[in-house]
Amino acid sequence: MQERLKELQAEAIQKVDQSAGLKELNDIRVAYLGKKGPITEVLRGMGKLSAEERPVIGALANEVREAIAAKIEAKQSALEEAAVQEKLAAESIDVTLPGRPVKAGNHHPLTKIIEEIEDLFIGMGYEIAEGPEVEQDYYNFEALNLPKGHPARDMQDSFYITEEILLRTHTSPVQARTMEKHQGKGPIKIICPGKVYRRDNDDATHSHQFMQIEGLVVGENIRMSDLKGTLNVFAKKMFGEDREIRLRPSFFPFTEPSVEMDISCKMCGGHGCNVCKHTGWIEILGAGMVHPNVLEMAGYDSKKYTGFAFGMGPERIAMLKYGVDDIRHFYTNDVRFLNQFAIEE
């Protein structure tokens, strides 16, 4: 029996030495030291031994058991340490390697132009207002002096969702909403940037979805000269101090009188060229004094309050400022086009 125990010890120790993983090691532990293992079996059979043999075999069996357990424990520590080292080696980071460059995005040219226009007007004391793109016919047309069936509605071909709901065709409904919110009490000084939608055929200067920026000032003693002064400051800051503006009579149902503003052509200095169609001027926005009907409909006393409003298309402003020849470049997101605006960031 002593012989058998020595053999078991040698066998187990050899297996532990050869084991290559924690699972295998555990299997050896169970096989030799477990309840159904050969050492337990030897101990169980001790009853059959003589009184002299019993303590000797008992002590040896315990010795063997401890020797195997110690060997397993030592091997387990070694395997665990090796696993940690292997993991560390695999996950090590060479902090001296140069970083991989990350491509940074840029602001879209339209975002830039809108923010530039916003900053300019905020500098003159304006606040930013916003309104819904899915709009009620009432705010888009009726509250702007364009009752149902009014022929001037044809100026803005519309996407209707129901009889009373449409995609707004301009940012002017934000005027009507803001005035209504003020409940007949001035003053108001806002600009409203946002998307608008029209059933226009897409070409180099038209898009079915585009941006507008609306401006509205309401107060006592607001005059046409205030409008002209404001637009003059805007044009010079936006396009350069050397640019001139001119106001031409026009028609919008919500303003009276109405004007369109042109700026002198940069390409030819006002002498006439292809860009300005040989007129020396380029149209950039519509404007006018808020129509008394519009003020009254929003609850303002038009004898006490007057106002001016203007509406411009930032795409067309960006086209002029950056020399872009087709409005569709702003929407197709060709990075070769967009990257040209990255330099200024």
Interacting residue ranges for ligand FA5, rule: CB under 6 A: 170, 172, 198, 200, 206-207, 210, 212, 214, 252, 255, 285-288, 309-313, 315-316, 327
Q: Which residue, 107 or 208, is less far from ligand FA5 as judged by CB?
A: 208
What's the token pair of residue 319?
């086209």
8 A C-beta contact, residue 126 and residue 240: no
Q: Write down the residue that tokens 């003159």 correspond to.
A: 124
CB of 159 to ligand FA5, least distance (A): 12
CB of 101 to ligand FA5, least distance (A): 37
8 A C-beta contact, residue 314 and residue 335: no
8 A C-beta contact, residue 290 and residue 307: yes
Q: Which residue, 280 or 286, is less far from ligand FA5 as judged by CB?
A: 286
Q: Which residue, 15 or 316, is less far from ligand FA5 as judged by CB?
A: 316
CB of 176 to ligand FA5, least distance (A): 11
Q: Write down the residue that tokens 């637009």 correspond to.
A: 231
8 A C-beta contact, residue 282 and residue 263: yes
Q: Which residue, 19 or 212, is less far from ligand FA5 as judged by CB?
A: 212
188-197 and 134-136 beta bridge pairing? unpaired
Q: Which residue, 15 or 198, is less far from ligand FA5 as judged by CB?
A: 198
Q: Which residue, 68 or 179, is less far from ligand FA5 as judged by CB?
A: 179
Q: Write down the residue that tokens 């002029």 correspond to.
A: 320
Give the C-alpha separation, 227 to 314, whole Å: 19
Identify the helix (H) or strand (E) that includes residue 173. helix 172-181
For residue 313, which of 199, 108, 171, 200 has the smallest C-alpha distance? 171
CB of 153 to ligand FA5, least distance (A): 12
Q: Which residue, 16 or 217, is less far from ligand FA5 as judged by CB?
A: 217
DSSP state of 201: P
Give the C-alpha separation, 176 to 207, whole Å: 25
What's the token pair of residue 285?
């926005």
CB of 154 to ligand FA5, least distance (A): 11
CB of 231 to ligand FA5, least distance (A): 11
Give the C-alpha separation, 268 to 281, whole Å: 10
HSE at residue 302, side-chain half, CA atoms within 13 A, is: 13
CB of 200 to ligand FA5, least distance (A): 4
